[in-house]
């Protein structure tokens, strides 16, 4: 949420097409640089050289590097929220919960594996206290999306219990994907497979059986 985000935000983005294109070049350059070198190794001067936008122009829209990273993180978060919402909006019965959670897991893994800069941006949100609130807000948004699906599928479950389950599933998925990201590819894939086939199904089916 805005009130929990304490680092300097990006200034209002430009309306003119030429200026918007300049900002997009800055964001694209930052993504490429942090993916190649990590967040800490990238300076505004590097972003300027890569994007062809002068440091002075960059500072017109972003007060510092963290504000650029925050803008990228917010974009990833918005995409992630939309995907999780779309997946869990299809849940209508208890039997739908496991496939939705498995799809969430594989979707997250796909983002880390295939979306440029996603892993580096996530690492930045963990390392910088000013960005941690963004990650917490995303995790809580996913938990609430899952809680709404649980409430549709199991109307007898009270709201607090549904939210607790949403937080548990989100935590399991996040831990698996982030753990896999730290491993060699084959070991990471094995971890994801175990989570998909061994951890998520019994977690949700036992919950369903308990509340029925």
Crossing angle of helices 118-127 and 129-153, in 10° steps, is 110
Instruction: Give the pLDDT confidence score for residue 38 in this predicted structure.
Output: 86
CA distances from 117 to 14, 75, 81, 91, 175 (A): 24, 12, 18, 31, 19
All domains of the chain, ordered by start, with CATH?
A: 2-65 (1.10.10.60), 73-211 (1.10.357)
Q: CB-based contacts of 162: which residues, under 8 Å, 6+ apart?
A: 147, 148, 150, 151, 154
CA 199/CA 81 separation, integer angstroms:
23
What pLDDT is attached to residue 6? 35
Query: Does residue 144 contact residue 166 with C-beta atoms inside 8 Å?
Result: yes
CA atoms within 13 A on the CB side of 61: 24
- Exposure pattern of 184-212 as b/e (b: 16+ CB <10 Å)? eeeebeebbeebbeebbeebbeebbeeee
Secondary structure letter of residue 172 according to DSSP: H
Residue 138 near residue 114, CB atoms below 8 Å: no
Its pTM stands at 0.84
Per-residue confidence (pLDDT) for residue 206, from 0 to 100: 97
Q: How far apart are CA 59 and CA 122, in angstroms?
A: 23
Say if CB 47 and CB 92 are below 8 A apart. Answer: no
Encode 72-92: b = buried (16+ Cβ within 10 Å), e = exposed.
bbbebbeebbebbbebbeebe
Helix (H, G, I), strand (E, B) or coil at 49: helix
Instruction: Tell me the HSE value of 159 on the side-chain side, using a 13 A CA sphere.
Output: 1
Question: What's the token pair of residue 3?
Answer: 């009130």
Over its length of 212 residues, how does the chain's per-residue pLDDT go in tens digits?
A: 222 233 344 555 555 778 889 999 999 999 999 989 988 899 999 999 999 999 999 999 999 999 999 999 998 888 889 889 999 999 999 999 999 999 999 998 888 888 888 888 888 888 788 788 888 999 999 999 999 999 999 999 999 999 999 999 999 999 999 899 889 989 999 999 999 999 999 999 999 999 98
């Amino acid at each position: 949420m805005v009130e929990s985000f304490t680092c300097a935000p990006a200034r209002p983005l430009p309306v003119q097409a030429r200026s918007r294109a300049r900002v997009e070049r800055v964001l694209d350059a930052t993504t490429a640089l942090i993916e190649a070198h990590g967040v800490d190794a990238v300076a505004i001067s590097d972003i300027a050289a890569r994007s062809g936008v002068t440091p002075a122009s960059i500072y017109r829209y972003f007060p510092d590097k963290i504000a650029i990273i925050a803008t990228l993180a917010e974009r990833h978060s918005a995409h992630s929220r939309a995907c999780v919402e779309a997946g869990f909006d299809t849940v209508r019965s208890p039997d739908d919960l496991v496939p939705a959670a498995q799809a969430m897991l594989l979707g997250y893994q796909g983002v880390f594996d295939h979306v440029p800069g996603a892993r580096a941006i996530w690492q930045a949100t963990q390392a910088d206290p000013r960005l941690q609130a963004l990650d917490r807000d995303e995790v809580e948004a996913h938990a609430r999306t899952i809680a709404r699906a649980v409430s549709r599928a199991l109307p007898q479950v009270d709201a607090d219990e549904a939210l607790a389950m949403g937080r548990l599933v989100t935590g399991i998925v996040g831990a698996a994907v982030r753990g896999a990201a730290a491993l060699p590819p084959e070991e990471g894939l094995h971890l994801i497979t175990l989570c998909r086939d061994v951890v998520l199904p019994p977690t949700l089916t036992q919950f369903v059986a308990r509340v029925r």
